[in-house]
Amino acid sequence: MTPLALAISYLLSLNLATFGLFWWDKQCAIRRRWRVPESTLLTLCLVGGAFGAKTGQGVFRHKTRKEPFRTSLNAVIVLHIGLLSALVLPGFRASVVAMLRDASTALFG
C-alpha cells in the first residue's frame, strides 16, 4: 500500500469513526446515559477526525451550542486546513517557511 493510500485510508476511517461517535454521544444524551468525554471527541478531531466531527455536529445537531467545545473544534479545523494548504500549495508553503525563517532570525539572530 502506498503512503498516500495509507494516509487516505487512515483519514477516512478516523472521520467515519468520529462521525459515528458523535451519533453515539447524541443517542446517549437523549437517553440520559453515560456520555463520551469532550476531551475524547476533541482528541479524535485533533488527530484527523475534525471533518467527520463537524459533519456529525451538523447532521445530529449535537454540541452546536457548547462552548468552548464549538470554538475548539473550529480551531482544529482551521489548523487542519492550514496544514493541508501548506502541503498542497507550494507558494503558500514557501511563504510560511520564509516567514518562520525571518521570525527565527529576528528572535535568535
Q: What is the pLDDT of residues 51-103, one digit of tens each?
A: 999 999 999 888 877 888 889 999 999 999 888 887 788 787 788 788 888 98
Query: Would you state the torsion angle of the CA atoms of residues 33, 18, 42, 95, taken in this order, to the nearest 10 degrees?
Result: -170
Provide the whole-model pTM: 0.76
**In this predicted structure, what is the pLDDT of residue 1?**
75
Half-sphere exposure of 57 (CA within 13 A, CB side): 20
Q: What is the mean pLDDT of the chain?
A: 88
Query: What's the Cα-to-Cα distance from 25 to each of 45, 92, 95, rounded to whole Å?
Result: 15, 38, 41
Instruction: Compute the distance between CA of residue 73 and CA of residue 42 in angstroms, rounded to an integer.
Output: 7
Residue 46 is placed in which grid cell?
485533533
Instruction: Compute the distance between CA of residue 54 and CA of residue 105 in angstroms, rounded to an integer.
Output: 38
